[in-house]
Homo-oligomer: A and B are copies of this chain.
Amino acid sequence: MSGGFLMVLSGPSGSGKGTVSEALMKKNNEIVFSTSVTTRTPRPNEINGDNYFFTTIDEFERMVEEDELLEYAFVHTNYYGTPKKFVFDEIEKGEIVLLEIDVQGALQIKEKYKEAVFIFLLPPKMSELKNRLIKRDTETEEEINTRYKNAFKELDFVGEYDYFVVNNKVEQAVEDIENIIAAERLRVKRHKNIKEQVL
């Protein structure tokens, strides 16, 4: 009985995905971040296998061809992907693998691996989302407007997810996700030999 699973977390930018993930990880040792494979050059402080698995374009394309990735994307000039092996090895150990990813990536995963748990993080109100983006003060007005428009488009896909969590307060959002984890661990489909266990 492993009970581990892949937890896919999406949410429009400004929904507080990063903050919620971090708070969740701090409280729960059995959650591990999914490590992506990428073709981009490692930065000086980055360790292979820790932040990312760094690889060549040839090797990445081989992985795509041999279906070794749960999803991948080409961003600017680099490939990024989620290696099956890392995810499945951790699940086998009973861990919960957390993958923060955009809607497009989540949909790719859903097609290949519907056993994952899909959670959509929502801002309490879309106007609040805009406020958060402005407050963050890391984007220009134009960028904020683009992100805001994209957030609207992403919302259309909430129906593709299993759960939604409203990020009104970080602590409550974390607790909601913890409840989801506790329940998903009790899923019959995630356990073999339940009958044998009680005999």
- Which A residues contact B (CB, under 8 angstroms)? 120, 122-126, 155-156, 158-159, 161-166, 176, 179-180, 182-184, 186-188, 191, 194-195, 198-199
With A162-B187, A164-B191, A182-B183 already in contact, 9 other A-B pairs whose C-beta atoms are closer than 8 Å = A124-B198, A125-B198, A126-B198, A126-B199, A158-B195, A159-B188, A164-B188, A179-B183, A180-B183
Collect the chain B residues with CB atoms within 8 Å of residue A183's CB. 163, 179-180, 182-184
Can you list 5 contacts pairing A with B, beta carbon distance less than 8 Å? A124-B198, A126-B198, A158-B194, A164-B188, A180-B182
**Nearest Cβ distance between residue A79 and chain B, in whole angstroms?**
30
Collect the chain B residues with CB atoms within 8 Å of residue A162's CB. 187-188
Determine which of B158, B166, B191, B195 lies in contact with A156 in the assembled complex, contact meaning CB atoms within 8 Å: B195
Collect the chain B residues with CB atoms within 8 Å of residue A199's CB. 125-126
**Nearest Cβ distance between residue A14 and chain B, in whole angstroms?**
12
Do A122 and B158 touch (CB < 8 A)? no
**Nearest Cβ distance between residue A95 and chain B, in whole angstroms?**
19
- A123-B198, A126-B199, A198-B125 are contacts. A186–B176 as well, Cβ < 8 Å? yes
Do A198 and B163 touch (CB < 8 A)? no
**Nearest Cβ distance between residue A136 and chain B, in whole angstroms?**
19
**CA–CA, A155 and B165, complex, Å:** 34
**CA–CA, A177 and B179, complex, Å:** 10
What residue in chain B is nearest A119 (Cβ atoms)? B186
**Nearest Cβ distance between residue A78 and chain B, in whole angstroms?**
32
Collect the chain B residues with CB atoms within 8 Å of residue A126's CB. 198-199
**Nearest 8 CB-CB pairs, A to B?**
A183-B183, A179-B182, A163-B186, A180-B183, A155-B195, A179-B183, A179-B179, A161-B188
Collect the chain B residues with CB atoms within 8 Å of residue A161's CB. 188
Do A180 and B176 touch (CB < 8 A)? no
